[in-house]
């Protein structure tokens, strides 16, 4: 048995430490807070038990003493427990109290430090807490204490005279009194001050004003908890060093409907640009239950003059069956290979195959024209490994040209309802910016979860399609396509979203 008290960092999942990630992966039980990003749970093993005990102002899922008892109980069952806490466990995270409880109960533990919101939030807002020209020390203070009580532990005069950068956490409710006490103690009301709300996350925003003006500015701008309060001349650097808030998609919420196996590239690009990505895969990619047709085609590969791959998944599952038959890429030596799209081409290159043809436009007409120019004619034998259910346009057009086309299923897609509730929550709150569709099947499956009429009731939500076929499927349901790239690729789609959102 063992308990790891892990700092989850201030919100950006990329700020979790490597050791924290390793501890999450080996844990049997993960007990996590509201301020710990849900994306971090992806580091857990599938069989791990994840228990939410979030605490935010005025709403505690579980009181602290019950959290302590829960951690101890799970550990004494012989399990490895990861206690995942926002920020750093030992900086206003009550991690020290939990460690003492574990020690008294005879449960071994380790503390895994995390980046505190007191450091991370200001850093993302362009506010270095120390700077040779302004401040050589930092004081971190709880703002949760009532500053009016006579036995306050805060020495306001010392804080006002210190020339230190002051960082208050959990202090939004008391912001007017904090400013009042500092000014009464002699701090110049013209001293620069700042608020950083949900620092480092996709909901991040900041505000800089003078200490005297900050409380009213906070009200005018709608700042609430969780926000860090920073007081000191380092706040004057915000305008120059504020790098995070210049990300073009910061504050935008984008739904990705691609299968989880395909979504990582799109999600990563959108996240890098600051977007909140809601992964709502409407399909899953699964192997076929039976592969006799594909296996027979692989045995007869030498008879085909062309192989056409239309997706990364087609390449992936074809090569799995190729390996299962005792063959490798050398088995394709007699055939030319077409790759529909750059990602498919890269999947082939990673297996030692340089495509003979990559069309400029990834629609059936463009592919057909290119193949005909490269010698496909009447009698040419063509093999197309693809999804069990897919559009028949390309093989039909090739057959019209006289080619002998064998379409063989390499994998199948099945509907998936993951995170539907998350999308509905954003719709209801009016915080959803865009839904992206990478194929007609994602449109059909998404609308089976969230009806077209629901989307029509939210005209502020942009709908993005990777190409004209997908856009046409939206139109068939009476929905507009607001965003469509000129090139039908994921990078082009991301570029179009950046311009339009």
Backbone angles phi, psi at 111, to 5 degrees: -100, 125
d(CA 279, CA 437): 12
Strands (E), 53-108: 55-56, 59-60, 80-85
Which of 250, 213, 262, 302 lies closest to 438, judged by CA?
Answer: 262
**Dist CA 260 CA 283 (whole Å):** 8
The predicted pLDDT at position 418 comes to 67
Go through the domains of the chain in sequence order and give each one's CATH number.
2-114 (3.40.1010.10), 119-246 (3.30.950.10), 253-282+416-500 (3.40.50.10090), 286-414 (3.40.50.10090)
Distance CA 286, CA 288 (A): 7
Q: For 442, how many CA atoms within 13 A lie in the half-sphere containing its CB?
A: 27
Backbone angles phi, psi at 28, to 5 degrees: -85, -30
Alpha-carbon torsion, ordered 429, 433, 438, 442, to 10 deg? 20
Burial (Cβ within 10 Å: 0-12, 13-18, ≥19) of residue 217: middle
pLDDT at 376: 92
The rounded distance, in Å, linking the Cα atoms of 109 and 100 is 10
pLDDT score, position 104: 96
Tokens describing residue 284: 């899953």
Would you write out the chain's pLDDT as a tens digit for each of its 501 residues? 999 999 999 999 999 999 999 999 999 999 998 766 668 988 999 899 999 987 655 555 678 889 999 999 999 999 999 999 999 999 998 899 999 999 999 999 999 999 999 999 999 999 999 999 999 999 999 998 765 566 677 899 999 999 899 999 999 999 999 999 999 999 999 999 999 999 999 999 999 999 999 999 999 999 999 999 999 999 999 999 999 999 999 999 999 998 766 667 898 899 999 999 998 888 788 899 999 999 999 999 999 999 999 989 999 999 999 999 999 999 999 899 999 988 899 999 999 999 999 988 766 667 888 999 998 999 999 999 999 888 788 899 899 999 999 999 999 988 776 678 889 999 999 999 999 998 888 899 899 989 999 999 999 999 999 999 899 999 999 999 999 998 888 899 999 999 999
**pLDDT number for residue 37:** 61
The strand pairing partners of 206, in sequence order, are 196
Catalytic amino acids?
33, 55, 170
What is the radius of gyration, based on Cα positions, of the chain?
A: 28
């Amino acid at each position: 048995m063992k308990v790891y008290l892990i700092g989850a960092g201030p919100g950006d999942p990329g700020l979790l430490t490597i050791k924290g990630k390793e501890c999450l992966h080996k844990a049997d039980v993960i007990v996590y807070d509201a301020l710990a990003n849900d994306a971090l749970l992806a580091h857990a093993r599938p069989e791990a038990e994840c228990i939410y005990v979030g605490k935010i102002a005025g709403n505690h899922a579980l009181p602290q003493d019950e959290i302590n008892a829960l951690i101890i109980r799970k550990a004494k069952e012989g399990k490895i427990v990861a206690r995942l806490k926002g920020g750093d466990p030992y900086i206003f995270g009550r991690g020290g109290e939990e460690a003492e409880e574990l020690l008294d109960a005879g449960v071994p533990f380790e503390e895994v430090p995390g980046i505190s919101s007191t450091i991370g939030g200001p850093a993302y807002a362009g506010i270095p807490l120390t700077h040779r020209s302004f401040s050589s020390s930092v004081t971190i203070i709880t703002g949760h204490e009532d500053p009016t009580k006579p036995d306050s532990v805060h020495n306001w005069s010392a804080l006002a005279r210190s020339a230190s950068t002051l960082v208050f956490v959990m202090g939004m409710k008391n912001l007017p009194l904090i400013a009042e006490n500092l000014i009464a103690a002699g701090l110049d009301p013209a001293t620069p001050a700042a608020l950083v709300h949900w620092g480092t996350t996709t909901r991040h925003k900041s505000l800089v004003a003078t200490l005297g003006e900050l409380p009213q500015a906070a009200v005018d701008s709608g700042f609430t908890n969780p926000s860090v309060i920073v007081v000191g001349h380092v706040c004057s650097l915000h305008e120059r060093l504020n790098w995070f808030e210049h990300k073009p998609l910061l504050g935008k919420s984008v739904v990705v409907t691609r299968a989880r196996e395909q979504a990582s590239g799109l999600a990563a690009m959108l996240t890098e640009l600051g977007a909140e990505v809601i992964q709502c895969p409407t399909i899953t990619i699964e192997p076929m239950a039976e592969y006799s047709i594909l296996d027979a085609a692989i045995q007869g590969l030498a008879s085909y003059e062309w192989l056409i791959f239309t997706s990364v998944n087609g390449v992936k599952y074809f090569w799995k069956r190729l390996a299962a038959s005792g063959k490798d890429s050398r088995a394709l030596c007699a055939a030319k290979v077409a790759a529909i799209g750059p990602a498919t081409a890269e999947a082939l290159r990673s297996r030692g195959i340089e495509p003979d043809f990559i069309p400029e436009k990834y629609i059936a007409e463009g592919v057909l024209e290119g193949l005909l120019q490269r010698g496909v004619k009447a009698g040419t034998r063509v093999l197309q490994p693809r999804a069990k259910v897919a559009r028949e346009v390309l093989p039909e057009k090739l057959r019209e040209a006289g080619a002998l086309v064998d379409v063989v299923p390499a994998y199948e897609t099945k509907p998936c309802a993951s995170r539907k509730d998350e999308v509905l929550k954003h719709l209801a709150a009016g915080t959803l910016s865009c839904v992206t569709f990478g194929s007609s099947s994602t449109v059909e499956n998404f609308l089976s979860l969230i009806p077209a009429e629901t989307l029509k009731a939210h005209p502020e939500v942009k709908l993005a399609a990777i190409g004209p076929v997908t856009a046409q499927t939206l139109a068939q349901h009476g929905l507009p396509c607001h965003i469509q790239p000129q090139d039908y690729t994921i990078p082009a789609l991301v570029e179009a979203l950046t311009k339009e959102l």
